[in-house]
Amino acid sequence: MKKYMIASLILCIFISIAVPAAAEEASENNQNANLDLAPGAISAILMERDTGEILYNKNVHEELPPASMTKIMTLLLIMEALDQDKLALNEMVRISEHAASMGGSQIFLEAGEEMSVEDLLKGIAIASGNDASVALAERIAGSEDAFVKKMNEKAKDLGLKNTHFQNTTGLPAEGHYSTAHDLAIMAQELLKYESITDYTSIYEDYLRKGEDNEFWLVNTNKLVKFYPGVDGLKTGFTSQAKYGLTATAKKDDMRVIAVVMGAETTKERNKMISSMLDYAFNHYETKKLFKKNETITNIQLLKAEENRINIAVSKPVSTIHEKGEAPEEIVTSVELYKNITPPMKKGDHVGELVVRHDGKTISTTPLVVTHDVHQASFFTLFKRAMGEMVKEN
C-alpha cells in the first residue's frame, strides 16, 4: 500500500534530546579504527535494540555456522505461534521418534513421552535442547522440514541476505549459515515478544520435577548469572563453529544486543561479550519516546463498527546518543497508509511513525491497530447516515 501523509494526524513532537553521531548512517566500519572489543572473534556486532543502531562491528556479514544460535529463529517462530494463539503454553506435545533421536545438547526426551509446550520452551531457552526444538517444530509445522521452510521464509521477510537454515537446531549441515548481523536482527525481532526473557533469563530449573526422570536444567549462557542485566539469549558451539553467543542486556531504558562468532573458548566468548556490553552502557544512553503498544493517535473509519480506531506503535521507540552530547531537536510524524478499511486484526499495520532529525529519517516504526476492527453493520451505517443528515439540517 502506498503511504500518504494525513495532515490532521501528523504528530510533530519537538523533543530536547541528543541525536547520536552513531545515528548518522550505520557504518560498516568501526567509528574508531582502534576499537577492537572482540579481538578473539571471527565476527562480532553490538546493537542497540530499539533504534537498531550499530555501536560496534567486526566482519558482520561473514557467513559462518551459527551452531545453536540457530535456535533464535526457532524460538522466534515458537513465540510467534504463541502470540497468534496457534499454540498454548499448557498444551501437551507428544514426542516423536525423530525428535527423541536428536544428538548434541538435549533434555533427553523419550519417544511417546508427553511434555508441555512451556517445559519444551524452557528446554530450548535454558539448556539448548535439540530434541525440544524438533518437538515444537513438528507440533507447529507438521515436520522439521516444513518448519525449516518457515525459518527461511522468515529470514527472507526480515531481509536477511546471508542466512540459510537446514535444520532447527544448528547441528552441522552443509548450506547452514548465518552472520553476526543477521543474528542480531533475529534477536531484535525475538525480543519484541517480551516474555521470551522470562525463559532465557532462568539460570536453573527442573523438568519432570519430583519424578524418577527429573532433569536439571542449567543455562548454557553463564552471563545470565554473572553479568548484571543480561537476560538472554542463546549460546552456540560445534567444533566447526567454535564458541558463539548472542546476548542481550538491559540497563535503565537501554537494551543492547551483542553477538560473537568463532571464539576459541567459552571464557574468551564471555569476556568479549562483557566488553561490548560495558562499552555500550558506559558510552551511550537512550531516550524513550514511546512504549511498545502506546497509542499514538486515533482515526475515524466510516465503514468500521467502532467510530474511532486507536493506532499504536508496534515496538518501543527511542533515540540513542553518546553520554554528554548537547541536546538537539527531533521531529516525529504519523504517516498512514491509503485506503485503510475494515475488517482488520489486532496488530495489522496501518502506517509508520517516522523519527527525523534535520530532515533526515532516523527510524521508522510500524503503526498497528490495537484491537480487531470489524466491518460496520447495516444498522450502524444507517445510524451514521441519519446522524449526518441531522447535522446538515
Tens of pLDDT, residue by residue over 49-77, are 999 999 999 999 999 999 999 999 999 99
Grouping H, G, I as helix, E, B as strand and the rest as coil, residue 50 is coil
From residue 16, give the alpha-carbon distance in Å to each of 49, 147, 289, 296, 363. 21, 46, 11, 19, 17
205-228 pLDDT per residue, tens: 999 988 888 999 999 999 999 999
Q: Is the pLDDT of residue 378 over 50?
A: yes
Mean pLDDT of 228-233: 97
Most confident of 32-41, 258-267, 298-307, 332-341: 258-267
pTM: 0.86
Distance (Å, whole) CA 31 – CA 27:
7
* Cell (9 digits) for 283: 558510552
pLDDT beyond 80 at 3: no
Residue with grid cell 537454515, as numbered in its chain:
165
- Range with the lowest mean pLDDT among 115-119, 251-255, 323-327? 323-327
26-283: in CATH 3.40.710.10: yes
pLDDT class of 7 with cuts at 50, 70, 90: very low
- Cα(342)–Cα(244) distance, rounded to whole angstroms? 46
What confidence score (pLDDT) does residue 392 get?
A: 65
pLDDT the model gives residue 263: 98
Catalytic residues: 68, 71, 128
How are beta strands 3-4 and 15-17 bridged, if at all?
unpaired
Sign of the CA dihedral 228, 234, 239, 241? negative
What are the residues facing 114 on neighbouring strands? Answer: 94
Question: What would the CATH number be for the domain defined by 3-18+291-392?
Answer: 2.60.410.10
Q: What is the pLDDT of residue 19?
A: 37
Q: Where are the domains of the chain?
A: 3-18+291-392, 26-283
Give the integer Cα–Cα distance in Å for 43 and 6.
44
For 280-317, what is each residue's pLDDT tens digit? 999 999 989 999 999 999 998 878 888 889 999 999 99
Whole-number Cα distances in Å, 120 to 25, 123, 124: 41, 5, 6
Task: State whether residue 180 is helix, strand or coil.
Answer: helix
